[in-house]
Amino acid sequence: MIDVQKVNATKERILNTIRTSGPSFPARVSRETNISPLFIGALLSEMVAERKLVMSCMKVGSSPLYFIPGQEAGLETFTSYLNGKEREAFERLKHAQLLDDEAQDPAIRVALRKIRDFAIPMPVRVNTEEKIFWKFFATPEAQARALIEEQVNPTATKPAPAAKEVHKQEKKETSAIKEQLPVEKTAQETISESKPAKEKKTKDISPSAFVKNVQEYLKNKNMEVIQELTAKTKEYHAKIRIDTPFGQQELFLIAKDKKKITEDDLVIIIHKSQAEKMPSLLLVKGELDKNAKPYLDQWKNLLKYEKLKL
């Protein structure tokens, strides 16, 4: 019979070690805690599932790094283990803080998708087109949004100081003239006052047909929605709960009414999944494109894909 108290004490030793040493690979944790290498991997995986630890995407040799949430900055110590292009992408992103995906050469674009510990995708819709920008993991969200605005609207510049002063002077003169004139209501103002105010129309906030279909699909599959996050016309995000042979499992659900799912779509979903610290389920009406399929195979333990049959 498993001694639960002993297992918990062992996990606490692991936490204390990583808390002191920072991000660590299994061999180091095993050495510093005197826990057999045969068991350390299983214990670390359990602690990731319990959300006590996070597993890095980057590997040192063939092993990932394990760290406590909040220790992400310590991963920079291990960037020497990145390959040439990945290291170049890391340095470029760290220097710029934000990179436009389309503006990078193909090798750097591939590398940015591999250094997921440091490159955070930020999808932005420009007119009818969706673009991806990459934010350095340590860059504040507000700063990244400001940098995106500068790149998307480069012509939106502030007026010159001289022009501002002229504008202020004109405004003062106009105000002085208005103060000297008698106040008279215009015909339009008089008419407006005589008309009763129109009641504001309330917007229809009922879910779209797609969202309703997804909700019905989940119900038929005995998947319980425990928290709705986003309900758009063609996209639905929620936290759901399913029954498994090992008990109930919570998943981060993303449903899309889209004909083709690209590798970029999966990259964004993986990051959302990691941010929520739970595996994801992707429901789509369309198909995976040729680049998305091998990417999904790499992350099949964290992301499940299912064709949405409505």
Tens digits of residue pLDDT in 20-56: 999 998 888 998 888 888 788 888 888 888 888 999 9
The percentage of residues in the chain with a pLDDT greater than 70, rounded to a whole number, is 82
Measured between alpha carbons, how far is 296 from 72 in angstroms, rounded to an integer? 24
Model pLDDT, residue 62? 80
211 CB-near residues (< 8 Å, 6+ apart): 231, 232, 233, 236, 255
Residues with Cβ < 8 Å from 207, sequence gap 6 or more? Answer: 215, 231
Secondary structure E strands in 186-245: 224-231, 235-244
Strands (E), 6-116: 54-60, 63-67, 98-100
* 196 — pLDDT class (breaks 50, 70, 90): low
Token pair for 138 = 């340590």
- Does the domain spanning 4-70 belong to CATH 1.10.10.10? yes
Q: How confident is the model at residue 291 (pLDDT cuts 50, 70, 90)?
A: confident
pLDDT in tens, 246-268: 677 888 888 888 888 888 788 77
Report the candidate in 36, 38, 46 with the shortest Cα–Cα distance to residue 11. Answer: 46
Instruction: Identify whether the C-beta of residue 304 lies closer than 8 Å to the C-beta of residue 281.
Output: yes
Q: What's the rounded Cα separation, in Å, for the pair 129 and 124?
A: 8
**CA proximity to 44, closest of 62, 59, 27, 61:** 27
Place of tokens 């673009």: 131
The model's pTM is 0.57
pLDDT of 124 reads 85
What is the average pLDDT score of the chain?
80
Rounded distance, CA 211 to CA 217, Å? 10
Ramachandran quadrant class, 82 (left: phi over 0; alpha: psi -120 to 50; beta: rest): beta
pLDDT score for 143: 92
Contact of 296 with 270, CB cutoff 8 Å: no
Q: Which two tokens stand for residue 75?
A: 């991963």
Q: Look up residue 24 and give its DSSP letter.
A: B
Q: What is the pLDDT of residue 158?
A: 53
Per-residue model confidence (pLDDT) at position 170: 53
The whole-angstrom separation of Cα 263 and Cα 269 is 10
| CATH architecture of structural domain 209-307 | 3-Layer(aba) Sandwich (3.40)
Fold of 82-152: Arc Repressor Mutant, subunit A (1.10.10)
Decide if pLDDT at 95 tops 90: yes
pLDDT higher than threshold 90 for residue 60: no
pLDDT per residue as tens digits for the range 116-157: 899 999 888 877 778 899 999 999 989 989 998 888 887 654
CATH 1.10.10.10 residue ranges in the chain? 4-70, 82-152
Return residue ranges of the chain for CATH 3.40.1350.10: 209-307
